[in-house]
Amino acid sequence: MPSLPFRFLAAAILGASLFGVSTPSIAADPQQVYPPDSMGARLAACTACHGAQGKAGPDGYYPRIAGKPADYLYNQLRHFRDGRRQYPPMQGLLENLSDDYLKTIASWFADQHPPYEASARSRASAATLERGKTLAMTGDPSRKVPACAACHGSALTGVLPAIPGLLGVPHDYISSQFGAWTNGLRKASAPDCMADIARRMTPDDISAVAAWLSQQPPGEGLPAASLPAPLPLECGSQATTGGAS
């Protein structure tokens, strides 16, 4: 299994610097020491931004990837590598990696379960948080917006094999991804269900659901084995991997 060349690590750190993103020290967790040539050591380029074991970056933007379903992580790695998602540091990191190696990376992070970080206190009003809760748990039938829970599980911790959890994810990251779907900067296999949903929501809706989701305690954060009912709309990535994109 090939190791990640140093130039990938340098590109990730340099790219983050160029884009005005703070990068934590690679040795952010002094208790986490990996043997040379282990997957933990090879993935220093990932944990430089996503935190030790992928527990999330300290800056409120880089999301937690630890414990996410492996198929979901693999989908996102492919999308970055192939240009479906736009973020130059990630594209530079992955451009020369094979599908098999991306699956190995995804599996490693899926098997990591570090403790969740405490959520930053929301400045949103009570009315905004209540609107966010309604969207997350009930949806908005008037605009054909399904509840987040209808796809991401009743506990919002994701569903195997490929639907991600939404808890323990920073507010700014959630908001930015809705913007990326709305503007076509983030794409998934057609039909792109999340892009369709994002375009049905108002900016206030997006702000509300991001605020509420970012405040919810994730508990153990483990994905559910299955959904109790079919997805409320067709998702292209479900057809290719068994889960949403």
Contacts of 94 (CB under 8 A, 6+ apart): 77, 80, 81, 102
* Residue-by-residue pLDDT tens, the chain, 245 positions: 334 443 344 444 333 333 333 333 333 444 567 888 899 999 999 999 999 999 998 887 889 999 999 999 999 999 999 999 989 999 999 999 999 999 999 999 999 999 998 887 889 999 999 999 999 999 999 999 999 999 999 999 999 999 999 999 889 999 999 999 999 989 888 899 999 999 999 999 999 999 999 999 998 889 999 999 999 999 987 754 444 44
**Residue 206 phi, psi (nearest 5):** -65, -45
Task: Give the Cα separation of 220 and 198 in Å (integer).
Answer: 28
Contacts of 35 (CB under 8 A, 6+ apart): 41
Segment 79-82 long-range contacts (CB within 8 Å, at least 24 positions apart): 79/186, 79/187, 79/188, 79/245
The ranges assigned to domains in the chain are 6-110, 126-241
Residue among 90, 104, 108 at smallest CA distance from 53: 108
- CATH topology for 126-241 is Cytochrome Bc1 Complex; Chain D, domain 2 (1.10.760)
- CATH topology for 6-110 is Cytochrome Bc1 Complex; Chain D, domain 2 (1.10.760)
**pLDDT the model gives residue 239:** 58
Task: Give the Cα separation of 12 and 45 in Å (integer).
Answer: 7
**Residue 92 phi, psi (nearest 5):** -65, -35
pTM (global) more than 0.85? no
Read off the tokens for 185. Answer: 């900067």
Sign of the CA dihedral 27, 30, 33, 36? positive
**pLDDT the model gives residue 79:** 94
**pLDDT the model gives residue 121:** 83
Read off the tokens for 12. Answer: 């990730």
